[in-house]
Amino acid sequence: MSLLLFCAATAVAAAPPADWVALAPAQQAVLAPLAAEWASYSAGQRQHLLALAEQYPHHSAAERSRIDARIRHWASLSPAERNRARDNYKKVQRLPSPQREQVKEKLKQVQAAN
The domain total for the chain is 1
Look at residue 12 and tell me whether its pLDDT is greater than 50.
no
Per-residue pLDDT tens digits for 64-87: 999 999 999 999 999 999 999 999
Domain contains 12: no
The answer to whether 88 and 103 have CB atoms below 8 angstroms apart is no
The per-residue pLDDT of the chain, averaged, comes to 87
Domain contains 91: yes
Domain contains 28: yes
Look at residue 8 and tell me whether its pLDDT is greater than 70.
no
Domain contains 65: yes
Domain contains 83: yes
| Residue 14, pLDDT score | 67
Cβ-based burial of 20 (10 A; exposed 0-12, middle 13-18, buried ≥19): middle
Domain contains 62: yes
Q: What is the residue range of 85's domain?
A: 17-113
